[in-house]
Structure 1
Amino acid sequence: MKVVIQKVTSASVVVEEQTIAKIGQGFLLLVGVKTGDTQADADYLVNKIAKMRIFEDAEGKMNHDISEVSGEVLSVSQFTLLANTKKGNRPSFVDAARPNEATKLYDYFNEGLRGQGLEVSEGQFGADMSVSLVNDGPTTIILDTENK
């Protein structure tokens, strides 16, 4: 699995001109599920994300995790994170999990975050989404279970 964490002051998802999810301060997570990914991969990411200390303390140091700042999560599935660009100019997505497999692990991942006490909103799996965000910092971190 691959997750892009963007620390945000706000983020939202629009599908067919309707806002379906919106958060304030917290994380926008772009989540890619690869063929062969497991619940253990999702658990690893959930624990990393819940404990990731990238919110500033009173001295301006990245010292607080998302719970300590009462942050929210907006989780968006994004198979394009698994693009293979080694050959040619058109990305290949053959490594991305099939939708039925990916949906199960994506849902498991989001439930895992909720199990950590986090407020989690979601995009719409498989939909054409417009994602808006105000990146705070900017702070963007990539987690990949192949590089644990």
Structure 2
Amino acid sequence: MLKDVPRSTSFGHSSSVGTMELIRPRASKSNAIRIRRSGFQDFRRVGRRENDPRYYRFTLKRSGRIDISVQNREFGGFLGFPTPTLKVRLERSNGKVLNRRTVRGGEFGFISRRLDRNTTYYIRISSSGESVPYRLGLRTRGGAELFR
């Protein structure tokens, strides 16, 4: 969808300049990124003008332990300015939150949990409003196997 957005100039003078801006549809579980293998990694951004929140989906063929790691790749915090945070949730398909983590700029967050087979799970990643680069990793242990 295209939207005509007024912009203002940099010296405080307001002017209405027509520009075309691409408005992306909001991310949802129905368009989640599917994880099909252990050792999965993804590098993306989430937040303002990005898909926020972003969903990942996986289903276990065999029960076992899943390790999820998320790195907030936004470094900074200089001059006393805070860095944006990432919010990570592991959810069942019914929306029940199993684990949650808040990951500050430059830090890692980890979720390790034993999960049941034949159940679809979602990883939900959102930001504190800013556009934040991140790295997501997922691996299986203890006999867990993903549907491909």
Higher RCO (C-alpha under 8 Å, 6+ residues apart): 1
Q: Which structure has the highest strand share of the two?
A: 2
The normalised TM-score by structure 1 is 0.27
